[in-house]
Structure 1
């Protein structure tokens, strides 16, 4: 498979900073400030009129040299015509949606989306008079039957949040484009190291930079990457609501990009190793990891992705919630937290929400984020806790 960006390891080192160093630090400095001053009114007016154009220095909220370098780097990595930064991954999702929705519009949302995406759709968009319809995430080209004249966008994730189904990305985008409907995909799990959705027909990619792209659990930021016909509308929406990234967060995200390929390569190997080991344990019923044949959409993953991340799910044989709590609490090298994509391993029980259908897996679903610890250490930790999931019949 060769779906990653060309020379991505080189790009991660070279982009996001001036091409010529000339005695300066190799990293962009932290830029703090609001007002940008001009010597002439004509210069100010030129900047004002171009304030939505990436790279323009006008006022701090519209970006500075560091944010412009990060946006350029991300655009190159994603193969995008434009990237706009946001203050969080949730902001990236909601502001991308706000660009396309309108009162009375019909919005198609995959039934496996991130919980905050669902909450925004069911509360804010519902109050705006947007009709939200959830659909089977594995519908593929069959989504054509759900498209209406009032459909304003199709929203999905690859893989699904918590349940890890991998949709047929080209199938969905092909049907949507034929009907003139834009698609929005959350690609936080894969990063551009493992998938470039814009090359698969997606119109808008959203991602949380708080996860793998920054990689150290110390930065909150999001991004919206898009093809050209949507880039300016997205940027104007973000600027209109006053969303702004902080200077320190931009610095941390640029720093994280430098090691992204190395970290993703390690986490791919480590994640598969831990998932394969867990699959052999008697307490495990099913592996929900896109690189494994037992995961729905595995063939889609093989076709469209060049690798995997370290986040996956395990369905354990039916047992009580108290047993799952005891198992999670007994782990020493897996912290409990809602995020993922940092250097630390995490564990979290998952109760999937479904609207278009029902979650039919018979067993307890637990999500694992594999970090940078030694895999043998993590296996030993899991081995000590797994007996707590044994049922009376065992």
Structure 2
């Protein structure tokens, strides 16, 4: 299968081929035809599956056949949870649309708003934005949505995790009802599906990666080590294995800063990205890492979400994540597009709980390698894989009150969330009990 066979024009396929891509990924081969046919799409795809091109290419194809954007208008809106992801999606739009007479822009917080307002004044065909800055621009009358044709929510799960649900609902209320909607998410939880009900209509559902699985091209292992020895062990691993490009994850911002200083003292070029860094500093750190000026990029989970680094060979979990699913997201940044990758976790005894949850999530025990000189004083116990999935506990049925309700509880069946007809209501009026009004 080729990109041409999916229905894309030569102007777009030439740009794709110029970037070295010849064969569509599974998510692209499913999403591109559906989007070109005007369908709403819900796609479950992890970072590194080619999902960005999966919506960018057909979006550009559709826009190239319509009227250009008028003053302050936007024809396609792509919402992303982070500044880094917004910048990367905007790069993809510019790269794949270079042979088309379309305009694009990217807007996010942390930088001056006036240049962004000036850019929008002429109107743009594709706008990539973070929710907060988009609302700022709308409130200053810098943007209008009368011409909007397509809405894309990228990494919808992370947007909910980061508390953007209110902004998203405000934005949805401003958009024309007649539009095409595309939702991309690592997984589709119940919360995401609830949000989807207010966005997509009869969507084509696409799932290319089973939930909580890791790529077979990624070699994973753990190094048991005492917590105080982690920094020194990381330095030794970098030197012994001659790692030139390493993405290292820490659990906290302060931990990222501490590790970066330690590496610098060991003459290893390192930079940190996290929420406390300015946008300029984060952009520079990522650029330096990509071009090889920085050997080690130390990141927190939220700051690294959506990072798109081609051919990243090595990921290190300096700290294990508190949420097991984040382990899958972390190591998904290596071993992409069939390339081999390595993911090593430095695990201390106090992280056994997190390790056990990760191994049960991915349904495999990770191989262990002890490094000479770094054997831990405190051993990391072996995990036990659960053979049977845990059954969710059934909620206890609320006891019926005998005489009166507890303070504030609503009376009758309404206290348990049931609706009842006017006939029932009328019949109960004669024996209605007093209520103090607190909802459950």
- TM category (shorter chain) comes to 0.3 to 0.5
What TM-score results when the alignment is normalised by the length of structure 1?
Answer: 0.34
TM-score between the two structures when normalised by the length of structure 2: 0.31
